[in-house]
């Protein structure tokens, strides 16, 4: 982070990019996540519950972040809920 003369953050500084950089981690395999073995997040749990209900599937409630992500990707692909861009 850069700071201006007053010590405040530079208002022109930005985070992120207009398009993802190659290898930026957006498409990284969940098995490679540093936190992949942690329990799934509340957001993952909620979304996975919705997708599984729509698909007529039951999934264990004790999934890891990585496992939940894989199921989400699979169920999204099967449902057509998310289209390739």
> pLDDT tens-digit profile of 66-79?
999 999 999 998 88
Other residues' Cβ atoms within 10 Å of the Cβ of residue 48 = 21
CA 6 to chain centre: 37
Q: How many CA atoms lie within 13 A of 38 on its CB side?
A: 7
CB of 49 within 8 A of CB of 41? no
> How much is the pTM?
0.62
78 vs 45: which has the higher pLDDT: 45
Report the length, in residues, of the chain. 85
pLDDT, mean over the chain? 80
78 vs 85: which has the higher pLDDT: 78
């Amino acid at each position: 982070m850069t700071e201006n003369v007053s010590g405040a953050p530079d208002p022109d500084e930005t985070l992120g990019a207009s398009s993802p950089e190659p290898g930026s981690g957006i498409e990284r395999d969940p098995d490679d996540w540093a936190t992949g073995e942690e329990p799934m997040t509340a957001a993952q749990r909620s979304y996975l519950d919705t997708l599984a209900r729509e698909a007529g599937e039951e999934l264990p409630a004790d999934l890891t972040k990585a496992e939940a992500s894989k199921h989400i990707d699979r169920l999204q692909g099967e449902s057509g809920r998310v289209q390739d861009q």
